[in-house]
Structure 1
Amino acid sequence: MRFKVVLRRLMSKAQVKYGLAGLLLLLVLAYIGPYLGAYDWQDKDFLNFMQAPSADHWWGTTQIGQDVYAVTLRGMQKSIIIGLLVAVISTGLSAVVGAFAGYFGGWVDKVLMWGVDLLLVLPSFLIVAIMSPRLKGGSWLWFVVLLAAFFWMVTSRVVRSMTLSLREREYVQAARYMGIPDWKIIFKHIVPNLSSLLIIDATINVSAAILGETGLSYFGFGVQPPDVSLGTLIAAGSNQVFAYPWLFIFPAGLLVLLVLSINLIGDGLRDALDPGSNS
């Protein structure tokens, strides 16, 4: 019943419809679009360097003859995957740490919150910048781990605060008296009751992670060649934006549309899941 109410409220908002439509179109473009083009993202046309958009190369070519359409869609695929993975890891981590800290209290709470406070004061960009060169040649998944490590702390504090209230509820007390293990109570009774917060947080983290990946890749700390992301493509095209605008416009435009679509959905989710909303 609650799911139907939330879905009805969600779909009643125009911004959510626009966001879902935009996100769906971008996903179709990212994962089906490459099959419609004549070139793979790794192909090189040595007869057409820096060619403007044409019937042969729809979005033009790069300085090494790569098809901008194919390369940009490959970059968007990688940015979407990174954003989703970072959101899942960071939201899951914030749920576990916050719930355990709030439920157990005592020294567990102090140790976990001390770790959260420590990570909050560490300069995340500087740490990623230091670590990234040491991970060159390795899997891009290490980059996902680095990003996720700095996305969960604030939400974990909110989860902890809500858990402090939830652990005193009757159903949690009843589960304790029945001898159910604490970890089961946390995952079966505490975390599910935080689902609204966690869903909203995960949605926001997707767009934040995509922007974070783009910014770090722009400065050379993210996805490494020969692979590409929207950040690396924007960085490559920014120096030639006036002479060869297609190198910058297409990846930058897709980045804006992608983040805007996700944020519209996230705002709609926040309103739909907010019991105090009258809309």
Structure 2
Amino acid sequence: MSTIEKSTEPAEAPTVPPAPNRLRDVTRQLLATRRVLVGIGILALLAVLAFVGPLVSGWEVGQRDFGALLEEPSADHWMGTNRTGQDIFTQSTAGLQKSLLIGLLVALLSTGVAALVGAFAGYFGGVTDKALMWVADLALVLPSFVILAILSKHFVGQGGWLVLVILLAAFSWMVTSKMVRGLTISLREREYIHAARFMGVPPHRIILRHILPNMSSLLIADATIMVSAAVIGETALSYFGLGVQSPDISLGVVIAAGSSFATTAPWMFAFPTVLLVLMVLAVNMIGDGLRDALDPMSTSRRS
């Protein structure tokens, strides 16, 4: 009889493809998008300029050089001075710092409010849905800029620029809340939501732990784009003297002070305006790239 020799070598295990990683895929897509890289680079340079510029200029924000009134850019004043001798470079970079902070805080507040309002309206439905969406519809039809101007005139001067942040956020959440509501209505019928209800998980915990994390991509993209909208809104109010009030300073305040000298002393107007345009452009480039990376149906990827 012939003996059959059995192989003692173990059989090779089948290769299992790695599990998809959403964060890794989005990061790879962002790093492969040129406009995102350009936007991140511009925004990083502006952030460094905003927080380092006032420290290295050699002049305080409110300091006056009475020997250099309305002076052109020079070695002592890199971007010139205004009619009272204040350094334009110092004022513009300090204003950029405040505008960046206002934009970030408004984006966080408005996106947070939109997420909570839309999620609670979509999850509970019925009277809760009608009441919250009625408030959102009412806020949408109100003349927000006029109301902001009136309220800013009375409250911002007393409470500082943080009051302006609250006012801007109060009129910036409505559209996003409607999108969140629609997504919540779809998500609340998923199996894992029904399982959480069956296990007795409270509604607020289901919303915070299961529903909102599943729409984080929308919220992140919305918050990014909201930064530029908030900065533009703050600049417009401050330009008309209804936003940031002295002794605080923002790009809108500096641009407003230099607008009447745009032809006679263009350095007063040009430098802060260029900073504003670059900041809004960079944030929009990042926001558009982030939206495309988070949207698998986007046709404008890698551009």
Q: Distance in 2 between matches of 1:184 and 1:64?
A: 57
The match for 1:49 among 51, 69, 81 is: 69
Aligned to 1:99: 119
What residue number does 1:217 align with? 238
Q: Does 1:152 align with 2:173?
A: yes
Equivalent residue letter for 2:286: I
State the shift of 1:109 in Å: 0.4
What SS does structure 2 have at the residue aligned with 1:32? helix
How far, CA to CA, are the matches of 2:165 and 2:295 in structure 1? 30
Question: 2:108 corresponds to which residue?
Answer: 88
Structure 2 counterparts to residues 137-176 of structure 1, below 5 A: 137-176=158-197
Mapped contact 2:50–2:93 kept (Cα < 8 A): yes
User: How far apart, CA to CA, are the structure 2 residues paired with 1:206 and 1:236?
Assistant: 24
Question: What TM-score results when the alignment is normalised by the length of structure 2?
Answer: 0.90
Does 2:267 align with 1:228? no
Q: Which residue number in structure 2 is paired with residue 74 of structure 1?
A: 94
Cα deviation code 1:191-242 (max 9, x no counterpart): 0011011001000100000001111111111001222111111111111101
Question: For 1:82, what is the secondary structure of its paired residue?
Answer: helix
CA drift of 1:138 comes to 2.4
What is the alpha-carbon distance in structure 2 between the residues aligned to residue 65 and residue 124 of structure 1?
36
Asked whether the 8 Å contact 2:160–2:244 carries over to 1, the reply is no
Shift of 1:99: 0.1
> Hey, what's the Cα distance between the residues in 2 that align with 1:226 and 1:35?
18
Q: Does 1:23 align with 2:43?
A: yes
Structure 1 stretch displaced more, 29-38 or 96-105: 29-38
Q: Counterpart in 2 of 1:58? A: 78
Cα deviation digits, residues 4-31 of structure 1 (max 9, x gap)? 1000011101000100000000001111
Amino acid aligned to 1:258: M
Partner residue in 2 for 1:204: 225
Cα deviation 1:90-118 (Å, max 9, x = unaligned): 00000000000000001110110111111
Poorly superposed stretches of 4+, deviation over 2 Å:
none
Shift of 1:40: 1.5
Question: What is the identity, as a one-letter code, of the residue corresponding to 1:76?
Answer: L
Indicate whether 1:14 and 2:38 are aligned. no
Q: Give the length in aligned residue pairs.
A: 279
Residue identity (%): 58
* Per-residue Cα deviation, 1:225-271 (whole angstroms, up to 9, x for no partner): 22211111111111110110011000000000000000000010011
Structure with greater Cα Rg? 2
The answer on 1:4 being equivalent to 2:36 is no
